[in-house]
Amino acid sequence: MYLSDPYNVAYKGIYAVADRKIEFVEIMEHSSCYGGSAWALYHYSKSPLVIKSRSVGDMMRYLVRTGHEPLDLRSSTAAAGIESVFVNDKEIEITYSGLGGGGVGATTCRGFANGVLRCRISDSGGGKRASGTIVVPRRERVLVGIDNTDSKEVGATWTLAHNIADAVDSLDHKYISHTLVQLYPVPEKTQNCVSTVLEFACIEDAKKELLEKIKEGLEKYSVSNETGMVALSDFDASMLMDYSKLCRSRMITKELALKTAQDCGVEVCMDGKGIIGALAALPWFSHNEEAVVL
């Protein structure tokens, strides 16, 4: 047996999106070892800057305030955390600290992850307190809602949406999450009346290429003439929740969907009747368990 780096488990990737006011950042860490990441999730949740933390599959997600808050690290109970988050026009700088194995996670495991532009790390391991600072590109969240790509005979929207997202995935427009959203079962449904929202974290100027590629995939592989595709670039999509709840409780019209999209700054990329459900999917991104309950 030969281990080239026995005390390092680099994350698959670390990505971060910031709100327009630079008050909040969501850090998304793609785990290579769920056990280690679950340990970090528990301890990092106690950091003063962390507002909310959760795992979505093997993606650890931290909603944080920007700024600096010193950590009072304590073995076994609060052994690692996020110490500072700073944002400028192009980049986001994140500093982690930890004790022992938590210090290894704060330094080498994160410093050499995919998506990290550069890092500064201290010695770690054993009984040391260690710190690591990584710099990642400042990204914007791009949400893509899709519905009505299948027919009574063939297809499933969620599978096509995922496969297209996986095909267009790149460091410039990183595929973060895929969520199925249960809609009100209208008579025109294929079977289960479910739409899909895809979440991407895009660097500057990558959105246009991303949407063109997704639309190209839908036009090529959809078997429906009523495919709907919508896109929103924002930190969240809470302004669409009332519309979504309406769509999930009764039948609504395409005209209402179009007006809502215009009022909320949502781009309509494909305007088939599927935009009704595509638009309703947007506010549920990454909330997979809640979105499947009607």
Distance CA 255, CA 260 (A): 9
Domain that holds residue 284: 140-291
What pLDDT does 100 receive? 85
Contacts of 185 (CB under 8 A, 6+ apart): 192, 193
Given 113, 137, 161, which residue is the final one in a domain? 137
Give the CATH number of the domain where residue 157 resides.
3.30.70.2200
What is the DSSP code (8-state) at residue 260? H
| Cα–Cα distance list, 256 to 2, 27, 146, 149, 252 (Å) | 62, 34, 17, 21, 7
pLDDT band at 294 (very low <50, low <70, confident <90, very high): confident
List alpha helices for the chain, DSSP H. Answer: 34-44, 101-106, 108-111, 157-168, 207-221, 241-247, 254-263, 275-281, 288-291
Examine residue 170 and state whether it is found in any structural domain, yes or no: yes
pTM: 0.95
Instruction: Provide the 8-state DSSP code for 123.
Output: -
Specify whether 144 is located in the same domain as 243.
yes
Instruction: Give the model's confidence band at 2: pLDDT under 50 very low, under 70 low, under 90 confident, else very high.
Output: very high
Q: Which of 284, 254, 278, 248 is nearest to 266 (CA)?
A: 278
Residue 2 lies in a domain: no
Tokens of 263: 């009022």
Take residue 267 and report the two structure tokens written for it. Answer: 């781009």
- pLDDT score recorded for residue 226: 93
Residue 54 shares a structural domain with residue 174: no
Q: 123 and 35, same structural domain?
A: yes
- Predicted confidence (pLDDT) per residue in 229-256, tens digit: 999 999 999 999 999 999 999 899 999 9
Spatial separation of the C-alpha atoms in residues 33 and 55, rounded to whole Å: 13
Q: Which of 86, 103, 137 is the last residue of a domain?
A: 137
In a domain, 3, yes or no: no
What are the backbone dihedrals phi and psi of residue 76, each rounded to the nearest 5 degrees, phi first? 75, -30
User: Are residues 160 and 187 located together in one domain of the fold?
Assistant: yes
Give dist(CA 289, CA 202) in Å, integer: 25
Task: Output the average pLDDT for the chain.
Answer: 94
Q: CA-CA distance, 105 to 100, in Å (whole number)? A: 9
Q: For 101-144, how does the pLDDT look when each residue is reduced to its tens digit (9 = 90+)?
A: 888 888 999 999 999 999 999 888 777 888 999 999 999 999 99
Task: State the virtual CA torsion across 239, 245, 246, 250 in degrees, nearest 10.
Answer: 160
170 Cβ contact partners less than 8 Å away, ≥ 6 residues apart:
none
Domain count within the chain: 2
Lowest-confidence pick of 53-57, 70-74, 125-129: 125-129
State the Cα–Cα distance between residues 132 and 105, nearest whole angstrom.
9
